[in-house]
Amino acid sequence: MGNVQRVLLLGGTSEIGQAIVRALLQGRSGVHVVLASRNPDSCGAFASELRGRGASVECLAFDADDPGSHRGVVDLAAAGGDLDVIITAWGVLGAPQCALDADPVSASAVVQTNFAGVVSAGLEAARVLRQQGHGTLVHLSSVAAERTRRANFVYGSSKAGSDAFMQGLADSLVGSGARVLVMRPGFVSTKMTAGMKPHPFSTTPEAIAAATVKALRGTATTVWVPGVLRVLFAVLRHLPRVVWRRLPI
């Protein structure tokens, strides 16, 4: 991983993204962090925390649903120097699946944010990393991307699309010096999932952050958190559909 000096967090208010930034700053000083979110003022408290840790911080406006603005945001973040790590860390659960069934407009908005926004921002990030000849794009995916469930298939399909895109982008960067790291966590206990019943093998932002930092030091392209999910889904992905749709998950 080398000595991380500049980090761009696209989705500056993401609890998981913030946990990764904290982990990257552990034991380091003088790191420059760019926090990009729809409302830059919402990053104020986290920016103050990072400055207290010895980092310099810049807050930018970033809207995942406005692909025309993504190039400008990434270029502005990279204007002060090469970006060592770029993190794509936004997403929406949307309404319950039963509500989305009757509201295609809201369903398409989930896909726009979780998939189309990742495609646009991901390509812009890869362009900069390819020009630099180094750096890692970290994408926060989900086990929901592995096989969609009837209980949330709009959300699951949006994550599956972004995951597949990042896998292909990773292959396209081979030989460039840049890379993509896809993190596939299980159910994560955050403010976004507050009130929801935790699934088996749930995890935390801090556990994902620790796994991310460890993976950045290696050559992995896809990391499951917790790791047992890789084995579990090796079985689940091959279940006959008639069995899969009857599972209470």
Q: Within 10 Å of residue 87's Cβ, how many Cβ atoms?
A: 28
**Active-site choice (155, 157, 173, 216):** 155
The yes-or-no answer on residue 155 being catalytic is yes
Instruction: Decide: helix, strand or coil at residue 197.
Output: coil
Which 3 state secondary structure label does DSSP give 134? coil
CB atoms within 10 A of CB 28: 13
Cβ contact 20:212 at 8 Å? yes
> What's at 43, amino acid-wise?
C
Sheet holding 135-140, edge to edge: 56-61, 32-37, 6-10, 85-88, 135-140, 178-185, 222-225
The contacts of residue 248 (CB under 8 Å, 6+ apart) are none
List helix spans (H) across the chain.
Answer: 15-25, 44-52, 70-78, 97-101, 104-111, 117-132, 153-172, 205-216, 228-236, 241-244
Q: What is the full DSSP assignment across 173-230?
A: TTTSSEEEEEEEE-SB-SSTTTTSPPPTT-B-HHHHHHHHHHHHTS--SEEEESTHHH
The residue type at 236: L
Positions marked active-site: 155
